[in-house]
Amino acid sequence: MMMLAPSVELAHVNAELQQVIAVFSAQLSLALVSFTLLSFPYGVIGFLIVSSSLLVAVAELQGEEGIGRHCHWPNPS
């Protein structure tokens, strides 16, 4: 079996292909991270990120009972 040394052209194409793959991989992982962050309702610091219109709709749905009335917190006593 005869081994051929890669030509300069093939080496150049190989290097360019590796760069394209690296850039594509980086963009793909950033896209996955940004999609994950956008689909997660909390920001990095842990606060709920919602629009004010959504908050108004939730408050209207809860009516006069108010926000948080449905939560059963342990009695501190």
Domain extents in the chain: 9-65
Per-residue confidence in pLDDT tens, the chain, 77 aa: 455 656 778 778 888 888 888 887 777 776 666 555 555 555 455 555 555 666 666 666 666 555 555 555 555 55
Query: Any idea which residue has 């150049």 for tokens?
Result: 12
Query: With contact defined as beta carbons under 8 Å apart, do 59 and 67 qualify?
Result: yes
Is the entire prediction scored with pTM above 0.95? Answer: no
What local confidence, expressed as pLDDT, does residue 15 receive? 82
Which residues, 6+ apart, have CB-to-CB distance to 59 below 8 Å?
Answer: 67
Residue 8: its pLDDT value, please?
79
d(CA 67, CA 74): 17
What pLDDT sits at residue 10?
79
